[in-house]
Structure 1
């Protein structure tokens, strides 16, 4: 897939690939824009730390799959 406004792959990043198992890794959402949403489209896990629940997205690949760009944009447009 070519780099565009919907897709960007940075093979020069020292963390690339940050998620295994993806043929094409979309780096556009390196920091997930849904992280601060209580419910997101991905599959986060939660852990307890100092009495607080922390969202852990380490194993989530949803924002890094090229086909999910439009779904994420639509989700973020919702109020």
Structure 2
């Protein structure tokens, strides 16, 4: 019984994108490991950008800097 936990930053992931992630992950586990879709669990967790850090700073700070550079 596979359990897949996908974490993404909370930046507007649409219901359609989530559906595609769940469907694609389930299909991949079936193709690669022959795991039945009916017993495959996929959980998508959206994490606020203030709670996700990379390179010593929050994703919020990174996104703000990216916006300033691209303006």
Whose radius of gyration is greater, 1 or 2? 2
Larger % of strand: which?
2
Measured against the shorter chain, the TM-score band is under 0.3
Larger % of helix: which?
2
Query: Structure 2-normalised TM-score?
Result: 0.23
Query: Structure 1-normalised TM-score?
Result: 0.22
